[in-house]
Homo-oligomer: A and B are copies of this chain.
């Protein structure tokens, strides 16, 4: 059993990248590993915005995150990255507002950090 942290770096417009992260996370849990955190950094902070409006034939981004949250994976976003990208840090839905230092400490204790971009 390994401890993973995952980070996402691409904006909410990159649905394929989110899908890849989600597939990896599910497969990691199925394989008996632990995921200590999924961290939104750089342009990925836009995933914390509550204003996404997609047609029904698009990936259901909201439900992808809901499922990951229900599996008990802590979801966090980088507050300074969010402020610089005009994300409302008072309404971040499933994501906990965190500092980069908080994530760095989690990553230092983890066995593996996998970036998705």
Contacts and interface: CB of A to CB of B under 8 A. Distances in A.
B54 A87 contact: no
A12 B86 CA distance: 7
A60 interface: no
Task: Indicate the size class of the contact surface on chain A.
Answer: 10 to 19
A11 interface: yes
A88 interface: yes
Contact of A83 (B46, B53, B87): B53
Interface string A43-60: 100110111111000000
Nearest to A79: B53
B43 A84 contact: no
Interface in A27-74: 43, 46-47, 49-54
Nearest to A91: B51
B52 A86 contact: yes
25 contacts: A11-B11, A11-B85, A12-B84, A12-B85, A12-B86, A13-B43, A13-B85, A46-B85, A46-B86, A49-B86, A49-B87, A49-B88, A50-B86, A51-B86, A51-B87, A51-B88, A51-B89, A52-B83, A52-B84, A52-B85, A52-B86, A53-B84, A53-B89, A54-B83, A54-B84
